[in-house]
């Protein structure tokens, strides 16, 4: 089976990107990252990509006359690298309907809560964990899902939970959840690259 060509979109330090790189380097994922794209010039994830000789591209929204044109530029870059699977690894922009249509059921996102709790518009980064702590729930976690036209509503691939301790802060919970993210995002990409993922309506079946 040929390697699946992967494009990764980031906005920050790229620790989830690093987890993907590590799994690929070990041969666990039958894929290759062809390009890493960031909407932020100072995103450390771009340096991570360059370290592994992966094409690292900064695309600035302000350079385009519209949000649609900005997204089209990202699509063009992905197509130039023959990308088959798009992974959002801490990418903090929404995608246009055209983008989602171009890569239907081929865009994977990681979210730092157990969807459908603490997700949707405005729920990203540390804010998710602040809301979890404020609400007083006993369990949180992370979710890997396919991306559709709404925020955090696509079919769920993998979820894993962590206990929310009485003395947890948003920062300590974030650290716990990040450990899970670094495990389940590469696992979902592994399953995809091996052709083990089957979508039936809202349900994702992982084939043996």
The residues annotated as belonging to the active site are 111
Alpha helices in 13-152 (DSSP H): 15-25, 44-51, 67-80, 97-102, 126-135
Q: At which residue do the structure tokens 């804010």 appear?
A: 127
Q: At which residue do the structure tokens 């994830």 appear?
A: 45
Of 45, 184, 166, 59, the C-alpha closest to 114 is 184
In whole angstroms, give the CA distance from residue 104 to residue 106.
Answer: 5
Helix then strand then coil, in percent of the chain rounded to 5, is: 35, 25, 40
For the chain, how many residues are written? 208
């Amino acid at each position: 089976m040929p390697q699946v060509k992967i494009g990764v979109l980031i906005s920050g330090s790229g620790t989830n990107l690093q987890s993907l790189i590590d799994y690929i380097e070990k041969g666990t994922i039958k894929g290759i990252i062809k390009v890493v794209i960031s909407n932020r010039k100072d995103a450390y994830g771009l340096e991570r990509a360059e370290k592994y000789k992966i094409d690292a591209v900064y695309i600035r929204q302000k350079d385009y006359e519209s949000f649609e044109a900005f997204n089209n530029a990202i699509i063009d870059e992905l197509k130039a690298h023959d990308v088959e699977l798009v992974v959002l690894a801490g990418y903090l922009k929404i995608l246009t309907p055209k983008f989602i249509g171009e890569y239907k059921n081929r865009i994977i996102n990681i979210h730092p809560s157990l969807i459908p709790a603490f997700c949707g518009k405005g729920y990203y980064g540390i804010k998710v964990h602040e809301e979890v702590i404020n609400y007083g729930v006993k369990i949180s976690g992370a979710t890997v899902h396919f991306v559709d036209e709404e925020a955090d509503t696509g079919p769920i691939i993998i979820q894993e939970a962590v206990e929310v301790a009485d003395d947890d802060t948003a920062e300590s919970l974030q650290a716990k959840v990040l450990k899970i993210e670094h495990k389940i995002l590469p696992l979902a990409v592994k399953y995809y690259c091996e052709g083990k993922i089957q979508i039936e309506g809202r349900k994702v079946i992982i084939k043996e």
